[in-house]
Structure 1
Amino acid sequence: MSVVQTESETAIRPAVTTARRSAATKLISRILSTWMARIGAVLLLAIILAAIFAPVLTPYDPLVGDMGDMIMPPTLQHPFGTDELGRDILARILYGARISLIEGFFPVIVAIVIGAPIGMLAGYVGGMTDRVIMRFIDVLLAFPGVLLAIVIVSILGPGLFNALIAVAIYTIPIFARLARGATLSVVNEPYIEAAKLIGMSHARILRLHVFPNISSTLFVMATLRVGLAILTASSLSFLGLGAQAPSPEWGAMLANGRSYILIAPHMVIFPGLAIVILVLALNFFQNGVRLALDPKAAI
């Protein structure tokens, strides 16, 4: 009997693997089904590769300048020009892409890891637990996101890590409320009731049945919030509350270049364009993800 089962499992396993690959291929095809998603994916991939291979793409150190090349306009030697300390702006943007990507993904990942379980618990348990959790979430959501982030950074102190924590904290309630609403839509489904009847633990139900059925909703929101997290973190750096000098963070570069905007506009134009292109790429890509994962969306 065991030999037959082993042979059956061996025969089934390749078929399962093939089916999973086919499903993944179909999902990617659906995500890239619109021109906006394709453009967003290409731009996002280009930015990620530029951040990874920054040392190969530029010979300059983003933190070291040449006092003889201060505030130079774009040239063949320095395609994006130099700043007030003679640092190559292209090098600073390439290395700064690493920081901006961290600013986008780190707070969102933290917010999902913390906020989603809180929202799932509130929606699944209900009653007083739901009311207490949601009232606390409502208090946090009552504050504008950037204002709450500024307050948190003011308490923790300026710095890139504290800015990331602040953005994550104000993003947590968004995912908590979203997870709670999505959980309420599936918690009374027959398969949940069946899992309870056979004695499955609540934690196991949440992990195996609730979360997989709401994960697409969370992922769609995550792709949208990454761009907003980058904008918020860049805003904090622009205000002097985020990344500190000499870090090549794009928001900090904007803040530094505004003093020279009349005599060296390239110090503001290129970091600003970098932020716009990255956020635009994420928003374009999010459009494809939404169309692929939202069953109500027309493709």
Structure 2
Amino acid sequence: MTAVDTTANLAAGNPTPTRRARKAGRLSVGVSYAILLLVLIVVLFANFLAPYDPNKQDLNAILLPMSGDHWLGTDDLGRDVFSRMLYGTRVSVLAALLAVAISVVIGLPLGIAAGWLSGATDLIVMRVVDAVMSFPAIVLAIGITATMGPDITTAMISVGIVMSPAILRLARAQTMAIRSETYIEAAKSFGARGLRRMVLPHVLPNIIQPILVQVAVLMGFALIAEASLSFLQLGVQPPTASWGAVLSRAYTFLDQAPMQIFIPGIAIAATVFAFNIIGDEIQRLLDPKRK
């Protein structure tokens, strides 16, 4: 678009492509906040919001369609899908939080150590990371979970281990960049040494911005990983509900109740979208160059 076209659009009251993009960006951020707020409310108050016991079976109400009594229908055992989705939200989100927490606990200190100490420490840590990353992430998580036994806690520990290289590599790169800064050299010249006087006050605060962005993105990946493992019956075990477990049951009876497979799928997609958008928003808000 030329300058003449832009001026004509402004004169006519039409928004420019840049303004339209900004408006769409603000809308997506608002929708993402709304989705995550709704998810948080469900996680905290699922007990009060669910109209039925999520595990209660009613063999006289198998695979019922959506109705006033069962808003999202019932599954193959007569359990209320809406109630199972509410309780499953809590399980899926807390499982994703566990995986991300483990990835940060493993990746952040090792990444800082590799970037700050360099030399042999950096070489050993990065060779281990290369070995872990040589396998597809979800395949490695499936292998670890299958070896240790199917369980949601085991599954998310596996996912956390698989995701830790993303945090580690980012923390290492940021630490190496900070290590060469002038204020680090000045602090060293005044005798500052060690974890308490150098890493904690100077390194950690300056790498927290990209780490927070990465954490938001990894939350989306962890949700997908939990759904994938539970779909394969390597995550939550019956009768516990999660988004992946509900999706697995719906897939089994796809020909009889096709609408039920969309419910957990939309929930997963919307929440992952929200975490990705919020990650971009965190990066924008914490950008030191932002006016």
Describe how 1:100-139 pairs up with structure 2 within 5 A.
100-139=92-131
Give the aligned partner of residue 48 of structure 1: 40
- Offset at residue 280 of structure 1 (A): 1.7
Give yes or no for the alignment of 1:224 onto 2:217: yes
Which is bigger in relative contact order (C-alpha 8 A, separation at least 6)? 1
Describe how 1:177-216 pairs up with structure 2 within 5 A.
177-204=169-196, 205-216=198-209
Describe how 1:258-269 pairs up with structure 2 within 5 A.
258-269=251-262
Q: Unaligned 5+ residue runs, structure 2?
A: 1-24
* Cα separation, partners in 2 of 1:223 and 1:55, compared to 1, 3 Å: same
Please say if residues 152 and 235 of structure 2, whose CA atoms lie closer than 8 Å, have aligned partners that are also in contact. Answer: yes
Deviations 1:99-125 (A, max 9, x none): 111122211122112211101111101
Describe how 1:1-299 pairs up with structure 2 within 5 A.
34-204=26-196, 205-295=198-288
- Offset at residue 213 of structure 1 (A): 0.3
TM-score, normalization by structure 2: 0.87
CA distance in 1, matches of 2:284, 2:28: 11
Moved over 3 A (4+): none
Deviations 1:173-223 (A, max 9, x none): 111111000101100112212222222232121111101000101011110
CA distance in 1, matches of 2:58, 2:99: 35
Please say if residues 80 and 89 of structure 1, whose CA atoms lie closer than 8 Å, have aligned partners that are also in contact. Answer: yes
How many residues are matched? 266
Please say if residues 220 and 293 of structure 1, whose CA atoms lie closer than 8 Å, have aligned partners that are also in contact. Answer: no
TM-score, normalization by structure 1: 0.85
- Offset at residue 295 of structure 1 (A): 4.3
Between 39-48 and 270-279, the greater mean CA deviation after superposition: 270-279
RMSD value over aligned CA atoms? 1.5
Aligned-residue identity in percent = 38
Please say if residues 159 and 222 of structure 2, whose CA atoms lie closer than 8 Å, have aligned partners that are also in contact. Answer: yes
